[in-house]
Structures are given as structure tokens and as C-alpha cells.
Amino acid sequence: MKKIIVLGAMQMHVPLIKYAKERGYYVITVDYLLDAPGHKIADEYSLISTTDLEAVTCLARDKNVDIVMTFNSDPAAYTAAYVSKVLGLKGNPPKAVEIMSDKGLFRKFLYENGFNYPKYKVFSCSDEILSVDLDFPVIVKPVDSSGSKGITKVKDRSSLSKAF
């Protein structure tokens, strides 16, 4: 029986877990939340973070899995790519996943390859953002989150630091 690690066991992962089980896979879910609903339907689960590269690699190696994947999670997608590469499993290249998951890197990729992209600027600290001339309103968005988490519409300079 083929084994699959599904990184994440939240409600959004349940369809993937069910799909894999219906096709005969032995499913191991990885999520640090004990009450994650996917754990209840998996064959087994591990309470580790989906972004813990070394722990997921060790688990995948110890369980001799065939596939490491996720659904709808940029941070876990990088873990799946990394572990797959380290263990010689089929998967996406980690560098490609990194570019697709980091908004700053993706915008840079679009620019360097002649694609259309929205006007953007990447800042690493709030002091930087306060020193730049901006046309308000602006959208402040973390480069490394997913699912629209952390996005703030800022209407004036006085709200920039808080949004950052």
C-alpha cells in the first residue's frame, strides 16, 4: 500500500485526505493541532508543524512514504517540495515553490520575465515604509502569508506602521 503524508489536517485538507484514502493510500496527516479534523479520518497523524522541514523529513523517511503533499497552504507547499527533493520523491522544485509562495519574489519574477504585475515595493522594517513617498490608499500585504491573511488597506501615512 502506498503511503502519503498530507501536510495539514484542517477542514480544507479533509477532501484531499478522503480522496487519497478512497484511492487506497495509507494517509498520515501532519498538523500541530491535536483537534484538527483531518487527524480523525487519517490512518495516523503526527503533531508537528507543517513548516518544520527536518521533523517532516524524518517522519517521511521513517514511515517510508511515497508522496508528501499539501493543499491550499503556501508554507506547507515549500515543506512538501523540500522533503520530496531530499528523499528523491516526485514533487515540485523547492525554488519554484519559494518563488510562487513569496509575494516579493513572485513580483520580481514577473518583472524579470516581462509579465504584467502590480506596482509594489518590499520593505523589511516599518522605518523603511515611512520614508517612502506613497500614493494613498495602498495595500500592505505580508510576502509570506496565504489566504489573504494580514492584508490591510491603508488610507493615510499615520496608519502605515500599524499595518506593517
| Residue 4: per-residue pLDDT | 98
77: domain CATH number? Answer: 3.40.50.20
| Residue 131: per-residue pLDDT | 81
| Residue 80: per-residue pLDDT | 98
Both 92 and 133 in one domain: the answer is no
| Residue 86: per-residue pLDDT | 98
Among 49, 84, 100, the domain boundary falls at 100
| Residue 115: per-residue pLDDT | 97
Both 62 and 16 in one domain: the answer is yes
Rounded to two decimals, the pTM is: 0.81
Count CB-CB contacts under 10 A for residue 99.
16
Among 100, 116, 141, the domain boundary falls at 100
| Residue 157: per-residue pLDDT | 87
Q: Could you give the number of structural domains in the chain?
A: 2
Domain of 61 in residue numbering reads as 3-100
Q: What is the 3-state secondary structure (H, E, C) of the chain?
A: CCEEEEECCCHHHHHHHHHHHHCCCEEEEECCCCCCHHHHHCCEEECCCCCCHHHHHHHHHHHCCCEEEECCCHHHHHHHHHHHHHHCCCCCCHHHHHHHHCHHHHHHHHHHCCCCCCCCCCCCCHHHHHCCCCCCCEEECCCCCCCCCCCEEECCHHHHHHHC
| Residue 107: per-residue pLDDT | 92
Which phi and psi angles does 46 have, rounded to 5°? -130, 135
Nearest-angstrom CA–CA distance, 62 and 145 = 30
Both 83 and 117 in one domain: the answer is no
Exposed/middle/buried for 74, CB within 10 Å: 0-12, 13-18, 19+? Answer: middle
Mean pLDDT per 10-residue segment, the chain (164 residues): 97 97 98 98 98 98 98 91 98 95 91 92 82 87 77 88 84
